[in-house]
Amino acid sequence: MGLLRQRSWVRYPNMANICLHEHVWSWSGYFLCVLKSDTGEDIQWLQNCMGPWHLVVEKWHKTAKNRLKEIETSEMTIETYINKYPVLKTPLGHELLTDDFQFLYPSSENKIFEIFPIVKRKIFKLALSKSHVSEIKDILEQLQLLNKDNENYEEIESILAFMLLPLLLGNPTHKTKKQVWRPSKAEVKDGFITHVLRPMDVQVAIAQRREKYLKYNLTLQPVIVIVGSSYMDIQKYYVVVNDLFYEMNSILKTVDTCFKIFYSLHCQYPTESMCVWNFIQLGLYQLKTKWDKNYSTVNAFITDLDFSP
């Protein structure tokens, strides 16, 4: 029986080669992609096509079990996986990765949005007891200056709460046979959320981070980058995965996306911020896995917050 094909029109104003290795026709900004519809080779389709989006999502969901098993059980790197599925390189690629997290841990999908508003107050309260630490004191002073009538009050408050976590949790020493790395407070903070002042500084910060990881024979993991003159004036939020910059619209959505990407790509938390992400996992997602490490610092922090995940 001959191969049944389906033609679909979809508009992508700024994208070319929507369907790779297939015929693509363009007319008035539209692309006609010849789609295989009855082969059952959804994995192959995803390797070659990036639209139309509803088909991408449909086939992504249908292949979740096989894709996730492959990345968990093989030696596949993040770079290899992204190159295998080029749709991940599009601006909406992060949505596919977070969908995979939902497939893996459906009960934890929205936990952070329910729990963080409550925990945020407890973080500030605990930080007050440690305000003798200069970095913590600086953030609390910014919080005091924040006007509740400011339309961005909740967002700025959330940024400040997240920026307190690295200072309150710290991180264990990273040891290898040849060297020992005890991350500083600044390194722990940057390993969780890297703050740069200008858009032009983003690439520089990532390059420096990559160089540092090479020094310690580590691989670069997904990381958050925020851009703005201060915590009170953040203009851009990114989740950086290798050379991809997924843009978000809030700090909570950024943390949520980055966390879920760790699991959908089956990669480790950044070395400097292991404890911060471990707290987010246990406290804000109420998630336990077979790969978990036990950190006494995190357990004590949860106890100090008077919070039982």
The C-alpha atoms of residue 142 and residue 156 are separated, in whole angstroms, by: 10
Question: How many alpha carbons fall within 13 Å on the CB side of residue 96?
Answer: 28
CA 244 to chain centre: 11
Q: Cβ of 134: how many Cβ atoms within 10 Å? A: 9
Tokens 């943390």 belong to residue: 255
**Global pTM value:** 0.85
CA 205 to chain centre: 17
Q: In a 3-state reduction of DSSP, which class is residue 274? A: helix
Tokens at residue 224, please?
């958050």
The C-alpha atoms of residue 268 and residue 271 are separated, in whole angstroms, by: 8
Length of the chain: 309
Please answer whether residues 50 and 15 qualify as being in contact, where contact means their C-beta atoms are separated by less than 8 angstroms.
Answer: yes
Q: What is the pLDDT of residues 182-204, one digit of tens each?
A: 888 888 999 999 999 999 999 99
Q: What is the pLDDT of residues 284-293, one digit of tens each?
A: 999 999 988 8
Q: What is the pLDDT of residues 21-39, one digit of tens each?
A: 433 333 333 333 444 443 3
Any idea what DSSP says for residue 232?
Answer: G
Give, rounded to a whole angstrom, the gap between the first and last alpha carbons of the chain: 57
pLDDT score of 299? 92
Average pLDDT score over the chain: 85
The C-alpha atoms of residue 222 and residue 266 are separated, in whole angstroms, by: 11
Domain boundaries, the chain: 5-90, 111-304
